Structure 1
Amino acid sequence: MPPPGDWPAGAVNTAVVPTGHAGRIAFAKKGKIINGWESLVEYSLIKDKKLGFGVGDIDVSYVDGFTYPILCTCKGVRLSGCYDNLWTQGKTCPEENGQGACKNPHRMKKDIDHAHEWFKLCEHKAYTYSKDDQANSNGKCQSGTVECEIMPGKP
């Protein structure tokens, strides 16, 4: 895993994940506190009992909140995420924390089946509510490197 810290524009980091590992990486603005409202890349490499080897899975999540648009691909094919910068869509964030993050009003609500209006552009591309399962890569990349690009965030 890349260590916590600043990633300059255009930086590339590599994470090698052992079978059985799952986790997530949060993206916040330099010098800002990570408070649970950030854009996330979530990943796992779980051994599939039928196949006998590790099956990778990855998704971009805005369920807790949004800081940056993120898109993850494998060999040029979109796995999860979207390039839509929600800060520039002309709508008001429902709850901004003053640290460059917008809290998702649908977080922690298990009975919701749609994205909040502010997160709608990324619905089904990135997780925008807890059951937005179309945003999951579902093991689509088993023979390549997953690349996640973080786009510029709030202007």
Structure 2
Amino acid sequence: MVAIPNFANIVNTISKAFLHSTIIPLYKGDHPISPMETGPDQVVFTVVNKHTSAIKALLTRGCGLSGWSPHPIMILANNTEYDEIILTGFDGIGGSCDDSDPKRAIHLDVGKVDVNETIRFLIPSGWHGKMSVGDANYHLTGGSETLLEGSFLEQVNGNGETKVKLDFDVSMVDGFSVPLTCSCGDEVLTGCSWDLLSLNRCPEEDQGDGVCRNPLRPDESVSSATEFFQPCEGAAYTFPHDHGANINGNPQCQSEGVTCCVGTDCDPHMNQCTGVMSGEEICQKFY
């Protein structure tokens, strides 16, 4: 959960709106792929699928102080650029979250992404939202899966100066579906590459199709993860205040973009290699 002012309200708005929202399939364009580059007012996210099978993804915009977020400028998946997003009646930005039709919390369905293929999306300044990721063998709900979430909004520093900053994280606060990590340069900054569904048994009351729901989602009082989510504590959000997973204003991320990876073959985050997990082979690089 990104630690920016009112981001909790943004995420809650997304979650509440999902039950009344519309999933929009994206249609493949027949034009050449356009260049997609990070710049002062836009950032590219690249998500590589190293999972054991194909994945599915939904992109959902948020709503906060400035109203509804814009959608990503461009989306690329399986090396195919999708046509310009035209969502008549749903695509307006701004406005009041309270007064707006909740269906405006559109979920853009990226569809199935094969192993070793990528999803790339270009966000403009003013964007805030999330990407839900899950195994393609299961129905993607957008409510219980592993998330990449963030914002690219103006923030005020201690001197009262305003600057647009990229703020993002990997979250398992809603639940876990697949491992996900994100890097800038060669350093994994947020996320966890453990497959929690293989490591631990999900409690029966939290089980879903291909997911384990997180029972701590509504609990603001807790200070540690449940046993199921504990191996990823401090690397990804495993409870609402697990802020070790938050990356805010990293200059390399804003100048070069963010690369994320789905699967256990992804490089690990240092914080997932503590305690009983420190002896795992992939963790030896930290010791």
TM over 0.5: yes
Indicate the SS of the match to 1:37. coil
Structure 1 alignment gaps of length 5 or more: none
CA-atom RMSD, angstroms? 1.7
For 1:81, the aligned partner's letter is G
Residues 132 and 142 of structure 2 are in contact (CA less than 8 Å); yes or no, is this contact kept in structure 1? no
The equivalent of 1:101 in structure 2 is 211
The equivalent of 1:143 in structure 2 is 255
Residue-by-residue CA offset, 1:7-66 (whole Å, 9 max, x unaligned): 111112221111111000101232514151100000210123456542111100000100
Runs of 4 or more above 3 Å deviation: 48-53
Indicate the SS of the match to 1:118. coil
TM-score normalised per structure 2: 0.49
Residues 223 and 242 of structure 2 are in contact (CA less than 8 Å); yes or no, is this contact kept in structure 1? yes
Residues 28 and 34 of structure 1 are in contact (CA less than 8 Å); yes or no, is this contact kept in structure 2? no
Indicate the SS of the match to 1:88. helix
Residues 41 and 60 of structure 1 are in contact (CA less than 8 Å); yes or no, is this contact kept in structure 2? yes
For 2:155, the aligned partner's letter is D
TM-score normalised per structure 1: 0.89
223, 244, 248: which one aligns with 1:113: 223
Residue-by-residue CA offset, 1:74-116 (whole Å, 9 max, x unaligned): 0011221011111121x2102211x101011211111111011
The aligned runs of 1:79-94 (5 Å cut-off) are: 79-89=189-199, 91-94=200-203
Structure with bigger gyration radius = 2
CA distance in 1: counterparts of 2:135 and 2:182, whole angstroms: 19
Residues 69 and 83 of structure 1 are in contact (CA less than 8 Å); yes or no, is this contact kept in structure 2? yes
Aligned residues: 150
Task: Please say if 1:8 is aligned against 2:139.
Answer: no
The aligned runs of 1:71-82 (5 Å cut-off) are: 71-82=181-192
Higher strand share: 2
For 2:221, the aligned partner's letter is D
Structure 2 alignment gaps of length 5 or more: 1-71, 76-107, 265-287
The equivalent of 1:47 in structure 2 is 154
7, 25, 36: which one aligns with 2:131: 25
Counting aligned pairs with the same residue, the percent is: 33
156, 166, 175: which one aligns with 1:56: 166
